[in-house]
Structure 1
């Protein structure tokens, strides 16, 4: 298999870098200064292990392209691994769907697409175009703030990447993908209910918006209470909708001691994926597919979601106005949350 990593940021760069280190055939897809640096210098993948050594970690000479046209005909053993933010999924998939495959046919008809993304809408979006869609639940603390560089903070495994066919099931393709990831410093359980894992991850990602807009370092306890308010709304919504999800105890049992978070001195981790979007000034943020997903399901089933709706709105304002991550006083955010809750009580 050749892995085409579409979106070689924090998650995609780590997955692609680890696969390349284990001898797999990899192509990275990126844009802007990141693409230019990857083409010129290769990828520098920082990990807790590599951070211990001098000289610095050598760069990985992985081929990098801007899109399908640069690759010409795709190979029949290609795997498209989608690692872009959810707000970019539809546009990116449209670019790749009609790409020709050697021997006849298109990517949408013949190639597997693996959604290695937060949220639960990407697989459904992909299935509108692609015949063979797979989900990947991402537990992979990582950072991408500098062109050509990504950092993965966990050891001994870089992450846990639970995979399965969408909407459910297991086949030989996903078994091989799980095997390759398992030989590349990941745990990659192959399951027949991958969306149950992704809905569980969605609940954890509801804290992303709090971290992105609020000064969470000011008061750990208050920050945790605000995040828990988002999560409890999410649990009520999923239960009302009858959507199964993996709880924190089941996830912790799988994780065990496989992923110990370690700070990497060369690349301090300021926050998660939404925080990093604001830090890079991308102008967009994925909260519509995290907090907004809970709001959507809540409205569908008549369950109020004032806290997640608030966090969705605040995140959109921060992204549109280019505000710095964490620049809202936590006490002010807490007051806004309280007002939102009181408005539906």
Structure 2
């Protein structure tokens, strides 16, 4: 397949490199020193599953430099989604389809404001990976899963072709992939967990082990996720009433030192995806007249850090 990866960070860089090694024609859209390193040396993945490298000169600086592609995988930070979606229209008009592996439930809403609905497939990924230094991605653990599907609950030729590409990339214990017949529900299920993990680890400034151990922070974690379940149900998504309890039990299986990308961004003074995580829960709940006090509190606590290190008078 001809695949473009828009955003060559931990998610896009990892999956894009695995797809490239499997023989697909992969082009990364990157910037800055990361772009320079990929152009010079390729993109290296360091993983417990082995080391992999995408070829040199496999990156461009902008979407406008892409040639014809079958699939665009969007993996930029959420605040860049509007800009990226607008730039993707020419590629979509030439026949490309788009899958976002970004966080949250707002991502595809944004994409479909700029692109035909049928061009946007739903997607979610499960991985812990980050840029260690320009040109190098570190993969934590062995989890590396992609789930995607058409919102029309069909299996289009593009979805089947991408599944085959992922299966080829997992020949040596690599990417686990599947097509979902209810991708919207799956994206919301991930959102429930993601909001709980990101909100608690970032607001408390501790990994999940500390959060789940203390009785009061454990209740906070569960309540944050329960509020997301309520908002999802009000949005028409079929989420089980006890799904927050299910995710709390899942949190007990995670490595004690696991944290979240938002916690990592806070620690490094970077901009936060807060408006699309706990802040996004508040926004959706407000539209429907639902009270989400736990997520509101997290959004308020972290608000000064939303754009990075808070300004001081």
Tell me the TM-score normalised to structure 2 length. 0.83
Distance 1:209 1:164, change over 3 A: same
Q: Is 1:276 the equivalent of 2:264?
A: yes
In the TM superposition, residue 248 of structure 1 has moved relative to its aligned partner by 7.4
Distance 1:21 1:193, change over 3 A: same
**Match for residue 202 of structure 1 among 191, 195, 207:** 191
Does the 8 A contact of 2:70 with 2:95 survive in 1?
no
Cα-to-partner distance string for 1:103-149 (whole Å, 9 max, x where unaligned): xxx53462101111111111122122223111111111222242212
Cα-to-partner distance string for 1:53-106 (whole Å, 9 max, x where unaligned): xxxx464325011112333xx32x4311000122210011222323xxxxxxx5
**Match for residue 127 of structure 2 among 131, 135, 140:** 140
In the TM superposition, residue 231 of structure 1 has moved relative to its aligned partner by 0.6
Does the 8 A contact of 1:154 with 1:262 survive in 2?
no
Give secondary structure in 1 for the equivalent of 2:131.
strand
Bigger Cα displacement from structure 2, 175-184 vs 307-316: 307-316
Does the 8 A contact of 1:87 with 1:285 survive in 2?
no
Cα-to-partner distance string for 1:311-333 (whole Å, 9 max, x where unaligned): 2233331233516xxxxxxxxxx
**Match for residue 110 of structure 2 among 103, 113, 125:** 125
Who is 1:266 aligned against?
none
Alignment partners' CA distance in 2, 1:310 and 1:167: 36
In the TM superposition, residue 300 of structure 1 has moved relative to its aligned partner by 2.3
Does the 8 A contact of 2:272 with 2:307 survive in 1?
no
Give secondary structure in 1 for the equivalent of 2:231.
helix
Q: Please show how residues 160-309 of structure 1 align to structure 2 within 5 Å.
A: 160-166=145-151, 168-184=153-169, 185-206=174-195, 207-217=197-207, 219-220=210-211, 221-222=213-214, 223-245=217-239, 247=243, 271-282=259-270, 284-309=271-296
Distance 1:109 1:306, change over 3 A: farther
Alignment partners' CA distance in 2, 1:230 and 1:171: 36
Give secondary structure in 2 for the equivalent of 1:140.
strand
Alignment partners' CA distance in 2, 1:249 and 1:169: 31
Who is 1:110 aligned against?
95
Alignment partners' CA distance in 2, 1:80 and 1:149: 22
Alignment partners' CA distance in 2, 1:298 and 1:148: 40
Alignment partners' CA distance in 1, 2:247 and 2:157: 25
Give secondary structure in 1 for the equivalent of 2:148.
strand
Does the 8 A contact of 2:285 with 2:291 survive in 1?
yes
In the TM superposition, residue 34 of structure 1 has moved relative to its aligned partner by 1.4
Alignment partners' CA distance in 2, 1:48 and 1:236: 38
Alignment partners' CA distance in 1, 2:246 and 2:179: 15
In the TM superposition, residue 196 of structure 1 has moved relative to its aligned partner by 0.6
Give secondary structure in 2 for the equivalent of 1:170.
coil
Taking only aligned residues, the RMSD between alpha carbons, in angstroms, comes to 2.8
In the TM superposition, residue 208 of structure 1 has moved relative to its aligned partner by 0.6
Alignment partners' CA distance in 2, 1:245 and 1:82: 26
Distance 1:238 1:149, change over 3 A: same
Alignment partners' CA distance in 2, 1:12 and 1:123: 17
In the TM superposition, residue 43 of structure 1 has moved relative to its aligned partner by 1.2
Distance 1:3 1:261, change over 3 A: farther
Alignment partners' CA distance in 2, 1:94 and 1:178: 26
Tell me the TM-score normalised to structure 1 length. 0.76
Give secondary structure in 2 for the equivalent of 1:197.
helix
Who is 1:103 aligned against?
none
**Match for residue 141 of structure 2 among 130, 145, 154:** 154
Distance 1:178 1:251, change over 3 A: farther
